Every structure is written in structure tokens, then in C-alpha cells.
Amino acid sequence: MIKLNEGNVLLKPSQRRQLMGWLKRSSRLGKRIGDFAVTIHLQRCGNMYEVRASVHDAAGDFKCRSRRTDWRTALRELSRTVSSRLHDQCLLLAAA
């Protein structure tokens, strides 16, 4: 399950769909691990966008953060980081 808290940033529906496309791999990895939940907080701070993600799954919890001048770059970087960390957890579960 993926929750998006937009804070003081207004995203159009097409931008939300784009974000869900970026998180598709993370979603599949999370389902494979089990008990998957992601909460994403998007906040505008001055001329920067701060994106934080709290990820919970059967292998453990972790948090990620990205801060960029463009919301699209910040969310893309965050989605790649979440995907990479989930992949590492998936490998650790397979080795155990």
C-alpha cells in the first residue's frame, strides 16, 4: 500500500499517475517481501521540495529523504532509493 501526503504541494492527477509508475517496481518488490506499506510526505520549503518516505515491510523498516529544487527530480530520486533498498532487503531474505 502506498500513501501520499502532499502537504502544501498541489499535484495534478497525471503527476500522481507518473509517481505511481515510478513506484511500480518498489510495489512489486514489497509484495514479494510481504507486509508492505509506504508513506510519502511531499513538502515545499522555500524554493526546495523535500520528499520523505517511511517504508515498512516484513524485513524491517527504513526511511529515505530527498531534497531538490524540482519536485519531479526529488520524487524520482526517492523512488530509485526506495527500490534499491527494497532490493537489498529482498536479497538478504533470500540469503537467510
Instruction: Output the domain CATH number for residue 80.
Output: 3.30.160.100
pLDDT tens by residue, 33-57: 989 999 999 999 999 999 999 999 9
Is the CB of residue 77 less than 8 Å from the CB of residue 66? yes
Tens-digit pLDDT profile for residues 17-30: 999 999 999 999 99
Q: Tell me the residue range of the domain where 71 lies.
A: 2-95
Question: Strands 48-57 and 60-68, how do they pair?
Answer: antiparallel
What proportion of the chain, given as a percentage, has pLDDT over 70?
Answer: 100
The count of domains in the chain is: 1
Name the pTM for this structure. 0.89
pLDDT at 27: 92
**Burial of 95: CB neighbours in 10 Å, binned 0-12, 13-18, 19+:** exposed
19 with 30: CB under 8 angstroms? no
| 22, containing H or E segment | helix 13-22
